[in-house]
């Protein structure tokens, strides 16, 4: 039973066709120098045995890696989900297969996944790091000579190409808009507080807002990963009687938490409170 269930190998095809494994390889690769009768026997054996080429094994033998890895902090947000979808389409257009995994906002898991991808000899990795370009995953890539692109939670890097929004400049625009509308008390909320882009958004807003109005009050509530601590902190904040006129959320999840709390309290935007969300 085990023999029947075992996936047929190239050597099984060769034995069935009465040729060498090298001849089978040539036929499957489209080499035309194989004798027609031998090529036909190989094709007949392939069909009879339902043989399929193992692309990963072939790539590793030829050192042609047609796999691209992608590591995202999480897949729950529309941003990272759409990112993987777009990367997959681009990879397939060029004959590559995308293998995506989530670090779940853990640097230890991020490095573990990256080590596996290194063992698989992927052609390259698209990494959205948990924190920034100086974390253990990026260091592992550098140390092992891996090809990669760092995205989103990065500022700049000499070893890899980077793709990210100018978070500080975008937040400065938000500050100019809110201060310009006369807001004097603003609450900033966010998740993944250690991420480079989140820190840049916070600093960009605070610097610009204080430059425009040194007397402005800016409160900050952040949580490392989970939305539940943020939800609880926001509820306690408003429960103490705090009443900012505007809330600026540094991430989409924070925006949803804020809207949920507003709804619970019967507040409406923008009549009762203003809300601006990044992402």
Stretch (H or E) spanning 206: helix 196-212
pLDDT at 28: 84
pLDDT on residue 191 = 80
pLDDT at 3: 43
Q: Rounded to two decimals, what is the model's pTM?
A: 0.66
The pLDDT, as a whole number, for residue 72 is: 94
Helix (H, G, I), strand (E, B) or coil at 79: helix
Tokens standing for residue 190: 């966010």
Which tokens belong to 44?
């007949």
Q: Tell me, which fold does domain 2-53 have in CATH?
A: 434 Repressor (Amino-terminal Domain) (1.10.260)
Contacts of 260 (CB under 8 A, 6+ apart): 231
pLDDT, averaged per 10 consecutive residues of the chain (279 residues), comes to 65 93 86 89 91 66 75 87 94 93 92 91 92 83 91 74 88 97 96 78 96 97 85 96 96 92 96 93
**Integer Cα distance of 73 and 162 in angstroms:** 16
The C-alpha atoms of residue 99 and residue 135 are separated, in whole angstroms, by 21
Our separate counts of H helices and E strands in the chain read 12, 9
Q: Which residues contact 201 (CB under 8 A, 6 or more apart)?
A: 167, 168, 170, 171, 190, 250, 278
CATH number of this structure's domain 167-277, picked from the four choices 3.40.50.360, 3.30.300.30, 3.40.50.2300, 3.20.20.300: 3.40.50.2300
Domain boundaries, the chain: 2-53, 61-163, 167-277
First to last CA, the chain: 55
């Amino acid at each position: 039973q085990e023999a029947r269930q075992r996936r047929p190998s190239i050597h099984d095809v060769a034995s069935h066709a009465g040729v060498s494994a090298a001849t089978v390889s040539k036929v499957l690769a489209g080499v035309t120098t194989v004798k027609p009768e031998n090529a036909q026997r190989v094709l007949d054996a392939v069909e009879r045995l339902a043989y399929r080429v193992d692309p990963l094994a072939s790539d590793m033998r030829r050192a042609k890696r047609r796999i691209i890895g992608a590591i995202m902090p999480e897949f729950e947000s529309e941003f990272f989900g759409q990112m993987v979808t777009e990367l997959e389409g681009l990879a397939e257009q060029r004959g590559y297969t995308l293998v995506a995994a989530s670090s779940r906002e853990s640097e230890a898991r991020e490095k573990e996944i990256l080590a596996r991808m290194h063992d698989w000899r992927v052609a390259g990795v698209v990494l959205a790091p948990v924190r920034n370009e100086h974390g253990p995953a990026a260091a592992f890539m550098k140390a092992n000579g891996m090809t990669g692109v760092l995205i989103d939670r990065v500022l700049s890097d000499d070893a890899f190409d980077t793709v990210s929004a100018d978070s500080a400049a975008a937040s400065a625009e938000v500050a100019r808009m809110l201060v310009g509308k006369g807001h004097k008390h603003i609450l900033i909320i966010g998740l993944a507080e250690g991420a480079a882009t989140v820190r840049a958004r916070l600093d960009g807003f605070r610097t610009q807002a204080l430059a425009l109005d040194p007397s402005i009050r800016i409160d900050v509530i952040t949580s490392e990963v989970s939305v539940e601590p943020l939800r609880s902190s926001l509820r306690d904040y408003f429960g103490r009687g705090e009443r900012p006129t505007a809330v600026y959320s540094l991430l989409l999840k924070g925006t949803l938490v804020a809207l949920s709390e507003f709804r619970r309290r019967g507040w409406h935007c923008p009549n009762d409170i203003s809300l601006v969300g990044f992402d």
